[in-house]
Amino acid sequence: MTEKSNILTKAGILIIDDDPNLRKTLSDILGAKGYETLTAKDAAEGLSLVRQCSFDVVLIDLGLPDIPGIEVLNKVKASRPSAEAIILTGNATLDSAIEATNKGAFSYLQKPYDVDQLLLHIKRAVEKREADRKILLQSTELKKINTELRVLYTKANFSSLHDPLTGLANRRFLEVQLEKHYAAAKRYGQLLSVIMLDIDHFKLYNDTRGHVEGDSLLVRFAQTVLETVRTADYVFRFGGEEFLVMLPGTDRDHACMAAERLRRVVESEAGVTISIGVSSFSADIATKEQLIENADKALYEAKNKGRNRVEAWPCG
């Protein structure tokens, strides 16, 4: 890229180095690899470009003539927090590498470096920037969805969307929420998991202690679950002693970790054990109902294996 531009159509890379031959060589190599580049001979010129343009990656020579490279790194991250920085130096020490990493550098290479190695570091830095952009877009979409749901919640009659005993959202509200989040998962590839919970031997508890005590347990249980999950999660009374937690932006492994945390907390604070089934969205799930059905199958497996445990679909 020969002229300054505020909008880079490809991954943009800034090279800040006082060696003109190195700047030219790197710029040519990166250009041939499909990157857009700008170069700066010193920190002052480089920081000026950082303020004018948005870069994916900034290559910083640690030994610049006007400002130390670490200080340049600090200024780059302050001005463009999302930009990834790779430190290049001919006088590497373990302490300088640790300092650069602690200051936010993506990676650290000693001169003379292998060009293929540098290209690999740049490729990974660009991939991280792309992943960060995707997460930001997903977060924006989730905020939009949550805003729509809050509007719906405000307009709707509270009692029609909530369980009168526990105060939790009911299955009608679950349908609304699940439709929104399932659509986002299907369209944008956003993560989505559900956890199905069942209080172990609740019928026996109800029969021996009475319905009043049984209702009291359900209320305590619901409150415990609400206090344990994240604020971004949704808790529903699915029916009887069954409850469902929907976890937007959560993959299978993290959903299982959340489920295990719930199991331990409930046993400790509510005085009962629970069986849990976990299901996560994947490309082969054709309907939102299948997501729930898979969680229910995993819950059934947890009961078959002795209760008071977590199982995730597909069970194995």
For the domain that residue 194 is a member of, what is the CATH number?
3.30.70.270
Whether 241 is a known active-site residue: answer yes
Query: Of 74, 100, 132, which residue constitutes the final position of a domain?
Result: 132
302 and 230 assigned to the same domain: yes
Residue 7 lies in a domain: no
Asked if the structure places residue 300 within a domain, the reply is yes
**What pLDDT shows up at residue 131?**
86
Tens-digit pLDDT profile for residues 69-86: 889 899 999 988 888 999
Within a domain: residue 138? no
Q: Looking at the structure, do residues 110 and 230 belong to the same domain, yes or no?
A: no
In a domain, 115, yes or no: yes
Chain mean pLDDT for the chain: 89
Share of residues in the chain with pLDDT > 70 (%): 93
User: What pLDDT is recorded for position 92?
Assistant: 59
Q: Is the pLDDT of residue 16 over 90?
A: yes
222 and 287 both lie in a single domain? yes
Same domain for 162 and 124: no
CA proximity to 271, closest of 307, 195, 237, 220: 220
Its domain, for residue 204, covers 156-312
Do 167 and 290 fall within a single domain?
Answer: yes
Nearest-angstrom CA–CA distance, 176 and 187: 17
Angle at 268 between CA 263 and CA 272, to 5 degrees: 70
The CATH number given to whatever domain includes residue 48 is 3.40.50.2300
Q: Are 198 and 276 members of one domain?
A: yes
- Residue 219 forms part of a structural domain: yes
Residues 190 and 267 in one domain: yes
Does residue 105 surpass a pLDDT of 60? yes
Domain count, the chain: 2
| The one-letter amino acid at 161 | L
Taking Cα atoms as reference points, which of 203, 221, 214, 308 lies closest to residue 270?
Answer: 221
Give the residue among 266, 193, 260 at the shortest CA–CA distance from 233.
Answer: 193
> Which pLDDT belongs to residue 157?
62
Say if 272 falls within a structural domain.
yes
pTM of the shown model = 0.52
Kindly state the average pLDDT of the residues 11-38. Answer: 90
Is position 196 within any domain?
yes
DSSP summary character for residue 165: T
Percent of the chain scoring above 90 in pLDDT:
58
Which has more confidence, 102 or 13?
Answer: 13
Residue 311: pLDDT band with limits 50, 70, 90: very high
Residue of 241, 242, 260, 301 marked catalytic: 241
Are 194 and 95 part of one and the same domain?
no
| Residue 141 maps to a domain | no
Scanning the structure block, which residue is given the tokens 């194995």?
A: 316
pLDDT > 80? residue 3:
no
Give Rg (Cα) of the chain: 27
Pair (127, 22) in one structural domain: yes
Is the domain of 118 the same as that of 177?
A: no
CB 208 within 8 A of CB 201: no
User: Is residue 266 within 8 Å of 272, Cβ to Cβ?
Assistant: yes
Q: Are residues 228 and 80 in the same domain?
A: no
Q: Clarify whether residues 175 and 279 are in a common domain.
A: yes
Kind and range of the H or E element at 84?
strand 84-89
pLDDT in tens, 246-275: 999 999 999 999 999 999 999 999 889 999
